[in-house]
């Protein structure tokens, strides 16, 4: 099968991070370019040997075009993975004559994603938007609606939604079922970190949040998810402790409590994340092959709705039902 020809729109850390699992390259050379060392460090942990990759290499992709706000970032990306990569002047140019538009994001808030995804979706190019899908629920809907209008698959996933270690912990919930309460530590103060925490809650405890409360010194520092008494969800909800101090290599920690006891995850952090990104890349390959997104539309929207409802709850000091932001 021919490789999937990729137009990479954005040149931040995640372009190199995902690229290390997508494209053929010289790891020694990549580590000398820009953010290459930071991107590759967690893929090469065999005594930090720069030539022994210890996380899954998915392959099957070819980088053919790159664009970034700062042209130098796109040039670095091109130099890392293929000298023949076309460094584009616009996102529109980067979305032409490719099989996949890939929009990486590390620390951004997703506010530009509708603008960046539109050219490819209007051309019918399958599109992956790194988390967050968008900053606002309106933009998130617009991206997904645009894909449906042009019969084009579009998908957004966080590594924390896919990382196998979240699934391992979810499988342990039966040890203390029924679960009364859940807690997640990690995420920090950025929108990207908040979406990671929300995605981890979806992965472990499930979707179907009905209302949100939030508080703290920064936006979405502490977010309470209320599942409205659903029998297969934590009866007393889940607390996201995003702004709760540093963790080891960006780790998240999950706890679950019930009448039969309590269970606690180990770290789910930088050394575990690449196994989630590899599964995302496998899902992207399936999306391109089948023409169908490999993630549920309503769950992708709920992810953003929780953040939006949380911001409103914190601003107004009240409980906000997701229906309030979904139906507005």
Q: Are residues 29 and 118 in the same domain?
A: yes
Region 250-275: mean pLDDT is: 97
| Over residues 13-17, mean pLDDT | 91
Residue 233 and residue 97 share a domain: no
Residue 63 and residue 198 in one domain: no
pLDDT for res 1: 59
CA 43/CA 56 separation, integer angstroms:
8
Q: pLDDT tens digits for 105-152?
A: 877 899 999 999 999 999 999 999 999 999 999 999 999 999 999 999
pLDDT bin (cut points 50, 70, 90) of residue 39 is confident
Distances (CA, A) of 277 to 156, 157, 203: 12, 9, 14
Domain that holds residue 15: 4-157+287-294
Predicted pLDDT at 34: 62
Answer yes or no: is 279 within a domain: no
| Domain identity same for 209 and 94 | no
Q: Kindly state whether residues 203 and 144 are assigned to the same domain.
A: no
Q: Tens digits of per-residue pLDDT, 69-93? A: 999 999 989 988 877 899 999 999 9
Distance CA 310, CA 320 (A): 7
How many domains does the chain divide into? 2
What per-residue confidence (pLDDT) applies to 42?
Answer: 92
Q: How far apart are CA 289 and CA 144, in angstroms?
A: 19
Is 35 inside any structural domain?
A: yes
Domain match, 224 and 318 both: yes
Instruction: Over range 276-284, report the average pLDDT.
Output: 98
Q: How far apart are CA 306 and CA 198, in angstroms?
A: 8
Sheet of strand 320-321: strand arrangement:
261-264, 253-258, 179-185, 238-241, 222-226, 211-215, 320-321
Per-range mean pLDDT, top range of 19-28, 31-40, 176-185: 176-185
Residues 211 and 118 in one domain: no
Q: Name the average pLDDT for the chain.
A: 95
Residues 231 and 192 in one domain: yes
Q: Quick check: 292 pLDDT over 70?
A: yes
CATH number at residue 29: 3.40.50.720
Is 282 within a domain? no
The model's pTM is: 0.96
Percent of the chain with pLDDT over 70: 99
- Nearest residue to 105 (alpha-carbon basis) of 294, 292, 277: 277
Tens of pLDDT, residues 178-236: 999 999 999 999 999 999 999 999 999 999 999 999 999 999 999 999 999 999 999 99
């Amino acid at each position: 099968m021919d490789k999937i020809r990729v137009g990479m729109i954005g040149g931040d850390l995640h372009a190199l991070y995902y690229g290390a699992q997508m494209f053929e390259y010289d790891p020694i050379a990549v580590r000398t370019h820009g953010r290459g060392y930071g991107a590759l460090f967690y893929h090469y942990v065999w005594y930090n040997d720069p030539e022994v990759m210890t996380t899954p290499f998915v392959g099957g992709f070819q980088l053919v075009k790159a664009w970034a706000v700062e042209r130098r970032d796109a040039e670095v990306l091109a130099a890392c993975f293929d000298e023949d990569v076309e460094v584009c002047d616009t996102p529109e140019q980067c979305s032409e004559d490719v099989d996949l538009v890939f929009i990486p994001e590390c620390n951004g808030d997703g506010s530009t994603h509708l603008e960046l995804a539109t050219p490819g979706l209007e051309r019918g190019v399958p599109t992956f938007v790194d988390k967050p899908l968008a900053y606002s629920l309106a933009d998130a809907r617009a991206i997904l609606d645009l894909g449906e209008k042009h019969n084009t698959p579009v998908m957004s996933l966080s590594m924390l939604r896919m990382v196998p270690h979240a699934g391992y912990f979810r499988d342990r919930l039966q040890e203390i079922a029924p679960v009364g309460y859940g807690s997640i530590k990690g995420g920090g103060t950025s929108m990207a970190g908040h979406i990671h925490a929300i995605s981890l809650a979806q992965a472990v405890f499930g979707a179907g949040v009905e209302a949100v409360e939030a508080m703290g010194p920064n936006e979405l520092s502490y977010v309470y998810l209320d599942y409205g008494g659903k029998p297969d969800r934590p009866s007393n909800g889940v607390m996201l402790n995003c702004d709760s101090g540093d963790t080891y290599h960006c780790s998240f920690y999950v706890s679950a409590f019930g009448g039969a006891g309590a269970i606690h995850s180990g770290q789910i952090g930088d050394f575990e994340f690449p196994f989630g990104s590899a599964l995302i890349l496998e899902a992207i390959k399936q999306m391109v092959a089948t023409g169908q997104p490999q993630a549920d539309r309503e769950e992708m929207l709920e992810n953003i709705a929780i953040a939006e409802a949380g911001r409103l709850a914190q601003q107004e000091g009240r409980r906000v039902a997701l229906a309030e932001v979904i139906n507005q």
